[in-house]
Amino acid sequence: MKRKSSNLVYHELIGLRARVIEYPDPSVKGFEGVVVDETLKTLVLDNGFRRIRVFKENGVFEFTLPDGGSVVIKGFEILGRPWERVKMVLR
């Protein structure tokens, strides 16, 4: 299944470019980078100069898809381990 804006919450996010749109910590808001790691509750973003770990639940993120499109996702929608989210499609 290809990554599209309609099904991105069910895919692994590693490798996608992401931007933090909303976050409680103002120093993180607006940070842009590539998702290099994903855990149950966090995303690790790297922009080449700085690497940050953000809690999914607290943020709103904009992901850029490989086809050039983008999608905005609230963090609570992507909570969980990536391999568990992929299984949710089958249910």
**What would the two tokens of residue 18 be?**
């992401």
Third-level CATH fold of 8-86: SH3 type barrels. (2.30.30)
**Sequence-ordered list of residues with C-beta below 8 angstroms from that of 73, at least 6 positions apart, any chain:** 8, 9, 60, 61, 62, 63
**Sequence-ordered list of residues with C-beta below 8 angstroms from that of 14, at least 6 positions apart, any chain:** 35, 36, 37, 38, 82
Specify the DSSP class assigned to residue 80: S
Summarize pLDDT for 67-80 with one digit per residue, the tens.
Answer: 888 999 999 888 88
pLDDT class for 53, splitting at 50, 70, 90? very high
pLDDT of 55 above 70: yes
